[in-house]
Chains A and B, each alone.
Chain A
Amino acid sequence: MTVQDVRGKEFRLSDGTRLQDLLDVENGYISARIVSDPELYELEMKKIFARVWVPIAHVSEIPNKGDYVLRYIGDEEVIVARSEHNTIHVVLNACTHRGMPVCRSERGNSSHFRCPYHGFTYRQDGQLIGVPAHKEAFGEALDKELYHLVQAKVAIVYGLIFATFNDNPPPIDEYLGTMKWYLQMMLQHTPEGMEVIGVPQRWVVKSNWKLGGDNFVGDAYHTFMTHYSAVQLRIVPSGDPKFAYYGVHVSHDNGHGLGLIGAPPEVELPRFYGVPEDIAKKIEATLPPGQQKAFERLAYIHGTIFPNMSFGYFSWATEDGKAPGSYLTLRQWVPRGPYEMEVFTWVLAEKEASDAWKHLARETFVRTFGASGMLEQDDAEMWSNITRATKGFIAREKLNFIYRMGINRKPEQGDWPGPGTVYQGDYSEQNQLNIWRAWARLISE
């Protein structure tokens, strides 16, 4: 994947601007227009969200037959449901008759979905199974067998549920590529894997949806300033302002990327994020050696699965004198127009772990990330203000963001055991450019 993919296409916006003039990936400049243009927002819905695999839920959220949750692909609501045959289905939450949402409870358990408008009834997989007064109303003119809520394809990867309305999507393994190795490490390092604790937190930030993914995929550098309060208060246990530098920055095909941060050699880190001994034993027995080596000595992972699902695997101390807690968080940046997103954020812990470990994970998460999180509060402040400052005509026309950090650095595997394009030191903007490359390729296709 090179800049040629962008340059080769002559995609033009309605005012005649060539897409390639908004992104100079080679030299590391991206026009502010890309995070604020309503025309681009419409193109994203059509060319990105309607085409790629979008992670939207975790299997542990719908453990039983008939369980369902409502989620979003792009800005459109979908039902994620588990059928009587234990298969997972994703359908658009809009009736085939006139488009009324057939499910209006954000989670629950049901053998069917009944439309409140005229009563068409659907199975969990979206098949139409009931039409009131069928004989008098439609008679022969309607064959139930033929109708189905608009159906997405579904793929499950280490418990994460992906869906797409693309009729011919790439195989999911091909789409995730080398990112999959890291998903296994985070989501399936014990036999039962991770489980969502409770439900996601949801709130609205007046930010373009892409700023969340751009931050999480590679912006280790912002921690130095945005999260300096966490350093001062020793929420970052080492108290080192450059805590997010000591690691690797890894890009994958199709825009995915992550950073994995440990600590300088002289700083001690608890094994496997400090999991209790019984879980550590399970990790040893479950994870292949490469992932085990990578996972053994980490304190922070941040990353994004293109287009809008980010994750963090963090360790923080939220009370003086109390051992740090660790957790995995997933977060989806759901677009709600060019200037607003809804944040969904989940916290996960090993399914087999004790209640005490899960409780510590939840407590540590809520105090550091999520709506009230002592770190995340300040991220939201950045992104909403960026969106406010860049949606005007002058910013769109004249402001180019600098993405030059690490631009002259060559990939270097070092002793990192994982795949992908690996850079040493996590202060870099290569992952961010990698997202923009994938974004531009899809928009221009």
Chain B
Amino acid sequence: MTQKTQANISLGDPTYLKLQGFLQEEAYLLDQGAFREWLNLLDPEVRYVMPIRTTRERVHGSGLVDQMVFFDENYASLKKRIDRLDTEYAWGEDPPSRTRRFIDNIRIKQLDERTYEVRSYFLVLRSRGNVPDYQILSGQKVDTIVVYDDGCKLKHRLIYPDQATLGVENLGIFI
């Protein structure tokens, strides 16, 4: 195992590109509604958590709270959510939303030989029905991703929303 490095992996590094490609592939699959393929990108031990943002004074920092969360998932519960979308009764996403996930500002640190901490900004645009206004979510993801010879797996995801009151009617979509 290599030493935990503090420096970010630089932009053109092959590992950087590989992990960037992984995030883009993931966003693409989710936007296509290819949820089972997306599930294949997750480690069986995955943790998928979305803390809550609160509005606090500057001296109190980011206002993030993790005692209560918007998502508290593992592989089995994510699979349950995907199974649900395949019933004909998941009204909140049927007809489905049109979503577009944008990933940017990727910053990567190596944690051990195969494992990387990948921080990225996300912007999700969600269009539902004939309503021309988008539901918008933005924030930062902090991922732990393991790189194998035949591809990457998401092991841990923390989703930090920017909004203290979410501007989406529900979180029937994955981020």
A interface, CB within 8 angstroms of B? 104-108, 197-206, 225-230, 232-233, 235, 318-320, 322, 342, 347, 362-363, 366-367, 370-374, 376-378, 380-382, 384-385, 388
Interface residues of B in 32-83 (CB under 8 A from A): 50, 52, 54-57, 60, 65-74, 76-77, 80-81, 83
Are the C-beta atoms of A204 and B57 separated by less than 8 Å? no
Are the C-beta atoms of B91 and A378 separated by less than 8 Å? yes
**CA distance in complex: A198, B68 (Å):** 5
Seed contacts A204-B168, A226-B89, A228-B89; 5 additional CB < 8 Å A-B pairs:
A202-B164, A202-B165, A203-B167, A320-B76, A374-B80
Per DSSP, are chain A's interface residues mostly helix, strand or loop, or mixed? mixed
**CA distance in complex: A18, B86 (Å):** 48
The verdict on B105 contacting chain A, using a C-beta distance below 8 Å, is: no
**CA distance in complex: A171, B82 (Å):** 49
Are the C-beta atoms of A318 and B67 separated by less than 8 Å? no
Question: A104, A232, A377: which has the most chain B beta carbons within 10 Å?
Answer: A377
Residues of A within 8 A of B92 (CB): 377-378, 380-381
User: How close is B88's CB to chain A, nearest CB, in angstroms?
Assistant: 8
Residues of B within 8 A of A233 (CB): 80, 83-84, 87
Are the C-beta atoms of B89 and A232 separated by less than 8 Å? yes
**CA distance in complex: A77, B89 (Å):** 37
Are the C-beta atoms of A104 and B55 separated by less than 8 Å? yes
Residues of B within 8 A of A108 (CB): 56-57, 60
Are the C-beta atoms of A371 and B70 separated by less than 8 Å? yes
Question: B52, B55, B71, B91: which has the most chain A beta carbons within 10 Å?
Answer: B91
Are the C-beta atoms of B52 and A199 separated by less than 8 Å? yes
**CA distance in complex: A374, B93 (Å):** 11
User: How close is A330's CB to chain B, nearest CB, in angstroms?
Assistant: 13
Are the C-beta atoms of A205 and B72 separated by less than 8 Å? no
Q: B56's contact among A105, A201, A320, A370, by CB below 8 Å, is which?
A: A105
What are 24 A-B pairs with beta-carbon distances under 8 A?
A: A104-B55, A104-B57, A105-B56, A107-B56, A201-B68, A202-B166, A204-B165, A204-B166, A204-B168, A320-B76, A320-B80, A363-B72, A366-B69, A366-B72, A367-B73, A371-B70, A372-B171, A377-B92, A377-B93, A377-B170, A378-B90, A378-B91, A381-B169, A382-B91
Are the C-beta atoms of A377 and B76 separated by less than 8 Å? no
User: How close is A209's CB to chain B, nearest CB, in angstroms?
Assistant: 14
Closest chain A residue, CB of each to CB of B81 = A374
Q: B55's contact among A106, A204, A206, A225, by CB below 8 Å, is which?
A: A106
Are the C-beta atoms of B70 and A106 separated by less than 8 Å? no
**CA distance in complex: A105, B80 (Å):** 37
User: How close is A127's CB to chain B, nearest CB, in angstroms?
Assistant: 22
Are the C-beta atoms of A199 and B65 separated by less than 8 Å? yes
User: How close is B70's CB to chain A, nearest CB, in angstroms?
Assistant: 5
Per DSSP, are chain B's interface residues mostly helix, strand or loop, or mixed? mixed
The verdict on B21 contacting chain A, using a C-beta distance below 8 Å, is: no
Residues of A within 8 A of B69 (CB): 198, 362, 366
Are the C-beta atoms of A381 and B73 separated by less than 8 Å? no
Residues of B within 8 A of A388 (CB): 131
Residues of A within 8 A of B167 (CB): 203-204
The verdict on B172 contacting chain A, using a C-beta distance below 8 Å, is: yes
Closest chain A residue, CB of each to CB of B50 = A372
Task: Mark each residue of chain B from 112 to 151: 1 if its CB lies under 8 Å from any CB of chain A, else 0.
Answer: 0000000000000000010100000000000000000000
Closest chain A residue, CB of each to CB of B76 = A319
B interface, CB within 8 angstroms of A? 50, 52, 54-57, 60, 65-74, 76-77, 80-81, 83-84, 87, 89-93, 129, 131, 164-172
Closest chain A residue, CB of each to CB of B83 = A233
Residues of A within 8 A of B72 (CB): 362-363, 366-367
Are the C-beta atoms of A319 and B166 separated by less than 8 Å? no
Residues of B within 8 A of A363 (CB): 72
Are the C-beta atoms of A232 and B169 separated by less than 8 Å? no
Q: A105's contact among B57, B129, B168, B172, by CB below 8 Å, is which?
A: B57
**CA distance in complex: A205, B72 (Å):** 22
If A202-B166, A319-B80, A374-B84 touch, does A105 touch B55 (CB 8 Å cutoff)? Answer: yes
Q: A229's contact among B65, B74, B84, by CB below 8 Å, is which?
A: B84
Q: A371's contact among B81, B90, B171, by CB below 8 Å, is which?
A: B171
If A108-B57, A198-B65, A320-B76 touch, does A380 touch B169 (CB 8 Å cutoff)? Answer: yes
Residues of B within 8 A of A204 (CB): 165-169
If A106-B164, A366-B69, A366-B72 touch, does A377 touch B87 (CB 8 Å cutoff)? Answer: no
**CA distance in complex: A108, B81 (Å):** 35
Are the C-beta atoms of B60 and A366 separated by less than 8 Å? no
Are the C-beta atoms of A105 and B93 separated by less than 8 Å? no
**CA distance in complex: A105, B89 (Å):** 40
Q: B67's contact among A199, A205, A232, A376, by CB below 8 Å, is which?
A: A199
**CA distance in complex: A322, B164 (Å):** 32
Residues of B within 8 A of A197 (CB): 67-68
**CA distance in complex: A235, B84 (Å):** 10
Closest chain B residue, CB of each to CB of A107 = B54
